[in-house]
Amino acid sequence: MWHIIITSLPAMLTAMIQYTIPLAVVSFIFGLILAVLTALIKFIEPSENKLIKYPWLVLRAIANFYVWLFRSTPLLVQLFIIFFGLPSAGIQLSPFIAAVIGFSLNTGAYASETIRSALLSVPQDQWDAAFTLNFTTRQTLTKIVLPQAVRIALPPLSNSFIGLVKDTSLASSITILEMFQVSQQITAKNFEPLLMYSLAAFLYAVICSLLTLLQHYLERRTSKYVKGSEA
Amino acid sequence: MISVKNIIKKYGSKEVLKNLSVDFPDGKTTVILGPSGSGKSTLLRSLDLLVRPESGTLSFGDLKLDYAQPVSKKLSFDVRKKTSMVFQNWNLFPNLTVLQNITTAPETVLGKSKEETEAKAKKLLSQVGLAEYADRYPSQLSGGQQQRISICRALAMDPEYILLDEPTSALDPELENQVLLILEDLSKMGQAMIIVTHNMEFARSVADKIVFVEDGDILFDGTPDQFFNHSTTRIKDFLSGITFNDDAK
Ligand SMILES: Nc1ncnc2c1ncn2[C@@H]1O[C@H](COP(=O)(O)OP(=O)(O)O)[C@@H](O)[C@H]1O
Ligand SMILES: [Mg+2]
């Protein structure tokens, strides 16, 4: 048994470092940027100025459509459309790019709702206090509201990230040689499905556990002002 | 002087301020009294544009504002620059330290240097007896301490008027006193204040002027002496109601 593990481990780890981790990290970063933009478009009320108001409402309609679309269809189907479907429309993407686009758009849709609800959970009182001190909306967001929202959004966003790491296994179905795909290929040769898939499961668990530790560290950092936390 | 004329504020079909007019003199302490739900907070928040009445005017020194018209960013900035609000639940920023709570606005909004704002914040903190708490977070302090800090936060903006909405209603009596003493000092120093309170003893000792609001209108506008000693039946009822409640405790 150990022999099989030791001989297949290098290929598995290579796949993890080459595809699984980069896919997850890059997609999460893009997803998060998209999520913040989408959340702000939905959250901020445009000023009465017509030149700002109407474009903003159009943007908001697009944001609503985007979130609806990606939350109400399966991730695997989204990946298939992007990778196998778009070429029929003349858009040919490499598997990696297709996967990053799919994962980013999917993560962005879910995370935008997390961020929006975190923004909404900061009480109106905080806005009143900032406005009476003459903060602008932007200053209130950056100095007061976002720092409080980050703390609230951190646990659910960590969940999204951990979910994303595991979902990268779906990229195997669009021909990416990520860790799960490699474990399948090795199994095809050594006929040890229980061992190989358990090994893959174990390696996913290792990454996710490390991420959980990172989450706890960040939670402590961002919660130092909360009652009862020792800092 | 701040003077509001003919303000009408509605929530839905309910008129909360009914064509109300009143003046708040410079350098004086005006106390707003009245039963709860009468519109005191709405009136106070209208002065700082946290609430937008449907109609009426605000004149504030050389600033003139018509509530029925769109208010430019500049005008809104200028009005808020002359006022600072202290809230019933103090509304400190929990993510900032005590010192940052006081320095962030003058730094961000008025563009003052960090050295200047910090020196001033420390001075204010020692005036309210909280110098050693500068680096704590609000959640680590008592309600009375937090309210004293929120007064420092308001003062750090050098407002002409401080608007206080029931600043001690959420505090236990011992903590309440620390805050009231600070407000009495400010009043004596000639800081203009408009205070909504239910504490009659405090109102009597600190007020230069009393405004009594009921049901969205002004029922009395005059000196504390007139109010407490020579007023109408309705106000006597209000005062005895309060006294009765105090006795019942
Ligand atoms: N945001 C709001 N929406 C609807 N009604 C409100 C709102 N704020 C205040 N009111 C109503 O307006 C009236 C006056 O409120 P308020 O000014 O807070 O009174 P006070 O401060 O004297 O207790 C009350 O009847 C209250 O219910
Ligand atoms: Mg009130």
- Residue B247's pLDDT is 43
Listed residue (B190, B199, B189, B141) closest to B167, CA to CA: B199
Those residues of chain A that have pLDDT short of 70 are 228-231
Tell me whether residues A151 and B95 touch, CB distance under 8 A: yes
Would you place residue B244 in the very low, low, confident or very high pLDDT band (cuts 50, 70, 90)? low
Tell me whether residues B109 and A133 touch, CB distance under 8 A: yes
- Mark which residues 95-114 of A lie under 8 Å from B by CB: none
Residue B248 pLDDT > 60: no
Task: Tell me which chain B residue has its CA closest to the CA of residue A222.
Answer: B95
Token pair 């001033």: residue: B120
Please report the sign of the dihedral spanned by the C-alpha atoms of residue A145, residue A150, residue A152, residue A156.
Answer: positive
Would you place residue B55 in the very low, low, confident or very high pLDDT band (cuts 50, 70, 90)? very high
- From atom 26 of ligand 1, which residue's Cα is the shortest distance away? B37
Tell me, yes or no, if A134 comes closer than 8 A to chain B by beta carbon.
Answer: yes
Task: Tell me which chain A residue has its CA closest to the CA of residue B158.
Answer: A133
- From atom 16 of ligand 1, which residue's Cα is the shortest distance away? B39
> Ligand 1 atom closest to Cα of B42?
17
**Tell me, what's the ipTM?**
0.93
Q: Is B45 in the pocket of ligand 1 (CB under 6 A)?
A: no
- Residue B231's pLDDT is 77
- Residue A231's pLDDT is 41
- Residue A229's pLDDT is 56
Measure the CA angle with vertex A174, ends A168 and A180; round to 5°.
45
Give the whole-number percent of chain B exceeding pLDDT 90.
Answer: 90
Give the residue, out of B41, B163, B194, with the most ligand 1 atoms within 8 A of its beta carbon, to mutate for a pocket test: B41
Domains of chain A: 2-222 (1.10.3720.10)
Would you place residue B230 in the very low, low, confident or very high pLDDT band (cuts 50, 70, 90)? confident
- Residue A224's pLDDT is 87
- Listed in sequence order, the DSSP H helices in B53-142 are 73-81, 98-110, 114-127
Q: Where are the domains of chain B?
A: 87-158
Give the residue, out of B9, B16, B31, with the most ligand 1 atoms within 8 A of its beta carbon, to mutate for a pocket test: B16
